[in-house]
Amino acid sequence: MGTFSIEGGHKLKGNIQPQGAKNEALQVICACLLTSKEILIDNIPDIIDVKKLLDLLSSLGVKVKKISKNKYCLKAEKIDLNYFKSPSFKEKGSMLRGSIMIVGPMLARFGKGYIPRPGGDKIGRRRLDTHFEGLIKLGASFKYNKEQKFYGVESKSLKGTKILLDQASVTGTANVLMAATLAKGLTEIYNAACEPYIQQLCKMLVKMGANISGIGSNLLRIEGVSSLNGCNHTILPDMIEIGSLIGMAAMTKSSITIKNVSWDNLGQIPDVFRKLGIKIIKKGDDIFIPEHKKGYEIQNYIDGSVMTISDAPWPGFTPDLLSVVLVVATQAKGSVLIHQKMFESRLFFVDKLIDMGAKIILCDPHRANVIGHNFKSNLKATTMVSPDIRAGISLLIAALSANGISIIQNIEQIDRGYENIDIRLNRLGAKIKRI
């Protein structure tokens, strides 16, 4: 189990380029299974989850060629369907949640798709029902081996239909969308997720020859085609990392510039951090965070009531940044209620922040009231364990602002979503050692 040693209290300064978006990468990489032609994808983040997915696809028979550090050529010309029955597949497929997204494209192109129960982190249950119910409506039959915890769908021919998703799941939408591109006739997906990740997947599929309308809305219409071609695709910068860097700069009273952020795809992220009192200056497609020498003050609502920040499906505020917002609020002037609606276990990491001296009242698994210190007292260094990706980066932000040397264990959870974060932050002046 890897460990970070972080010496807090150092200001950061300089420019940083955000990595490619993790959530988009997992989707567009799986899309290569829809065609036998070459897919060229640029700006793929060099992170554990992506490496595991590429390894899984390689074992399935996909030719994975690394062009440069973040650029890959994928060609799913010959797929070994017998690999699904191997112990290796069950092991590799269960190691990351993103593996579920191979099912839709495999079903569409080969008539069958299987997956063991996906793994990942400990942020709470994420149902697979949305995925399989959508695929069943397209004409697939569903199989589940309870003892081996192994799922499967099979179909001789998928047919377009109207699908109302029971929740606006990003990965569920991606799975059903990819399957629908090769189904016969028209498929309508209502209550579809419309995050930039899904929009990017749609644009990539259109470049491959898919017929998709309604991109960016919650109603996608897909007219099935007989086959898809190859294409070139560039992944967006990771908006979660961008938000993490904004919070990190404010809490350490640092002055940094985040380069090439794709501002138009950030949604509510800049505005939510501004509600915490953080100055965000847009310079072209860059974000400049000035040094907050006098701290930052949480806004109140117009009627004077306490600010509430909650997550919601896009275009609402992403749940992936609520942990970061919570940490940043611990040093703000004022108080804020953090309401984590979409996952039941994401706030449990606040115990460690309380140990560090933060004023937080955990109301229930979904709500935490944060009373900011206004930098009148710094957080104290401690030893912590990262339970998931986003809590991990939040604890790292807390450690960077704390007095003394903090230890974060289980940093594999951070490495799952952030590319060489220690090296990149050290270039800005952080003191992080990988033990």
Catalytically active residues are 121
- Chain centre distance of CA 297: 28
Kindly give, in sequence order, each residue whose CB lies less than 8 Å from that of residue 165, ignoring residues fewer than 6 positions away. Answer: 130, 134, 172, 173, 176, 189, 190, 191, 192
Q: Is the dihedral of CA 275, 281, 282, 288 positive or negative?
A: negative
Q: Are 421 and 31 contacting, i.e. CB atoms less than 8 angstroms apart? A: no
> Which of the 8 DSSP states describes residue 20?
B
CA gap 136, 291 in Å, rounded: 53
> If we measure between CA atoms, which residue out of 42, 53, 35 comes closest to residue 205?
35
Closest by CA position to 359, among listed 385, 386, 383, 335: 335
Dihedral sign for Cα 311, 314, 317, 319, please.
positive
Q: Are the C-beta atoms of 331 and 297 separated by less than 8 Å?
A: no
Task: Give dist(CA 25, CA 173) in Å, integer.
Answer: 15
Task: At 379, give phi and psi (nearest 5°).
Answer: -70, 150
